[in-house]
Amino acid sequence: MEFNFEMMAVVAVYFLGLVAVGAWASRKVRTSEDYILAGRNLGFWVFTILIVASICSGMTILGTSGLGYVTGWPTIWEQVFVPLSAAVCLLLFGTKLHAVGRERGYLTVQDYFADRFYSNNGIRGLSAVTGILVSLIYMVGQFVAISMVLSWLFGISYHAALMISALIVTAYVIMGGLYAVAWSSLIQGMMLIVGVLLVGPAVIRSAGGLSSINAVLAGIDPNFVQPWFPDWYPGAAAPYAGYAFATPIFLVSFFFLLSFGLASAPHVINNVFAARDAKYFKWAPLAAFSVYVVVMYLVKITGFAGRAMETEGQIALPSGVSNPSDYVFVLGAEHAFPSIISVLIGVIVLAAVMSTTDRLMLTIGTYFGWDIYKRFLRPDARDSTVTFVSRVAVAVAAVLTLILAWSNPPALLAWLIWMGIGLMLACYVAPLLAGLYWRRATREGAIFSMGLGLLGAGVAGYWYQFVHVLPVHFSLYGFALSILAIVVVSLATAKPSEEVLDGTMTGPYIRKRQARGEGGPGLKR
Amino acid sequence: MFGLPFETTFLVIAAPALIALVLLFWALRW
């Protein structure tokens, strides 16, 4: 790409807009609840888009089209399962967490765990430290993606791109907390949706249309147009090709990993406490899923189009980079549009990356400021001190991530990111589901579940990367262990008190029916 | 359709449509 002035101007205006949002938001931050939860005052669309934008990252855009390029249609399920995670988060976790959280004054999901599992230090510490760790891993991946795109688009160095993007995001997160993150996510989400709706169809058209793309894909490998790759386990030692991992049994583990693992991610689930009104949980699951699935299908098919265009010699992926397929979205869009409009692509990817990065940063800051500092180290700390410590923690997290992302793409980056999501699935999902819906789940069960889940996923992840390929995603082993642990250990330990269970609305229902003289709290609804 | 086998076409359209229907049902039962 040639450096040009118009492009820099557009991106500069975008960056200035974000800093302006941060400055506006900083005037609304008076208490730690304002900083961490935007005063529990987010409106319907800001809230719904915040959930989608938190999940939808830069890796999502680049990685999704890149995966489409490499594997064809069998991995389209990722584009069903990821949008589904937004609905799972809102419906299965969010509806009840929001109701209990408002009543009991939770600021983070650790407050829920500590309350439901009557353990302030053990489970809060385990959950918060895991959350900070996986968020840091995830954030390194985001920064690498953002710098890759910026340096590609503007011809500036990778390190300059890294510094600029980190400074902008850190500035508005420190200033405005969740107010700034939520409102900038609305801007970023809109740009992402409009951008993909413009770029996607144009790239597909310039590749000759969907039927022609599919004909080229089927010519490369007939399985590219099948809904999944053929099973290889246990008959063979490995799939017939490295890209043919998406077998039916693998896709089952992928479903749990994405639909439940991402739904329980710290930077996603904590948003549910910030909604202004419990009624939002009525339509938000459908709204979030529908918007997200359309955008993701388009991005994925853009990757297919890129594969067809490359096969026919219209585009060439860069050589000398470790992840050439991740460039397919950018290259396809460049081919479909004259260069001036390709600024749009840069802005799309930037918007996607920044809307996740800012939420991750805020998560690390609040987990440290609230869960570790206020609830563990200094229970008598003043409220303004908690906000200050959170802001300092955001800055420290940014510097730490910069150091980790400084050596241009670490080879293990993709594995690290999968490891991050895998650890979330193995650590949070079983205690959340059991805590919300099963009155017999106990403190000891939850602690064993988290500990064994992390251990199982860690060992299986190491095995998969350094020993031998596994038939299902490695996180499934940890997840199975965490479910087993919470059931067995809970049944072997003393039942929680009725007071705790009723106070946290525990039981096999999603929503308590309003008191209108009909139905009881035990009604499934 | 779209140059895909019937099974693939059916699944990639039916899966998101089914999820959307369930979520619509959730909203209407509220």
- Going residue by residue through chain A, which has 525 residues, state the pLDDT in tens, using 9 for 90 and above: 444 666 668 778 888 898 899 998 997 897 998 999 999 989 999 999 999 999 987 767 788 889 899 999 999 998 999 999 999 999 999 999 999 998 899 999 999 999 999 887 898 998 999 999 889 888 888 877 777 777 766 677 777 887 888 888 899 999 899 999 999 999 889 888 888 888 899 999 789 998 999 999 999 999 999 898 998 877 887 888 889 889 898 899 889 889 999 899 999 999 999 998 998 999 999 999 999 999 999 999 999 999 999 888 888 888 776 678 877 887 888 788 766 556 767 777 778 878 888 999 999 999 999 999 998 888 989 899 999 999 999 999 999 888 888 775 556 667 777 788 898 889 999 999 999 999 999 999 999 999 999 999 999 988 877 787 777 788 888 999 999 999 999 999 998 998 899 999 999 999 865 444 434 444 444
CB A490 within 8 A of CB A439: no
A/B interface, count of CB pairs below 8 Å: 61
Joined together, the tokens standing for residue A267 give 């930077």
Upper half-sphere CA count for residue A376 (Cβ side, 13 Å): 21
What are the Cα distances from residue A373, in Å, to A214, A303, A376? 55, 45, 6
Which residue does chain A place closest to B20, by CA atoms? A286
B23 touches chain A (CB under 8 A): yes
CB contacts, 8 Å: A99 with chain B:
none
Q: What is the 8-class DSSP label of residue A275?
A: B
Cβ count within 10 A of residue A127: 26
B18 touches chain A (CB under 8 A): no
Cβ neighbours for A229, distance < 8 A, ≥ 6 positions apart? A74, A223, A239, A244, A245, A246, A247
Closest among A228, A227, A233 to A244, alpha carbons compared: A228
Contact B5 A225 (CB under 8 A): yes
pLDDT of amino acid A522 = 46
CB A299 within 8 A of CB A313: no
- Closest partner CB to B3 (pick from A76, A91, A211): A211
Closest among A325, A307, A323 to A220, alpha carbons compared: A307
Contact B5 A226 (CB under 8 A): yes
Cβ count within 10 A of residue A6: 10
First to last CA, chain A: 55
Closest among A407, A405, A432, A435 to A266, alpha carbons compared: A432
Chain B: give the shortest CA distance to residue A76, in Å.
Answer: 7
Read off the amino acid at residue B13.
I
Cβ burial, residue A277 (10 Å; 0-12/13-18/19+) = middle
CATH topology for A5-313+338-405+412-503 is: Sodium/glucose cotransporter (1.20.1730)
CB contacts, 8 Å: A297 with chain B:
12, 16
**Gap between the Cα atoms of A191 and A198, Å rounded:** 10
Q: What is the pLDDT of residues A266-291, one digit of tens each?
A: 999 999 999 989 989 999 999 999 99
Count each helix (H run) and each strand (E run) in chain A, helices first.
20, 0
CB A352 within 8 A of CB A61: yes
CB contacts, 8 Å: A511 with chain B:
30
B13 touches chain A (CB under 8 A): no
For tokens 């996986």, the residue is A134
pLDDT of amino acid A10 = 76
The ranges assigned to domains in chain A are 5-313+338-405+412-503
CB A297 within 8 A of CB A79: yes
CA-based radius of gyration for chain A:
23
**Gap between the Cα atoms of A244 and A8, Å rounded:** 41
Question: What residues in chain B have per-residue pLDDT under 50?
Answer: none
CB contacts, 8 Å: A512 with chain B:
none
Chain A: give the shortest CA distance to residue B18, in Å.
Answer: 11
- Closest partner CB to A214 (pick from B2, B11, B16): B2
CB A177 within 8 A of CB A274: no
Cβ neighbours for A30, distance < 8 A, ≥ 6 positions apart? none
Which residue does chain A place closest to B14, by CA atoms? A80
pLDDT of amino acid A467 = 80
- Closest partner CB to A285 (pick from B11, B12, B26): B26
**Residue A42 backbone phi and psi in degrees, to 5:** -85, 135
Q: What is the pLDDT of residues A408-450, one digit of tens each?
A: 555 666 777 778 889 888 999 999 999 999 999 999 999 999 9
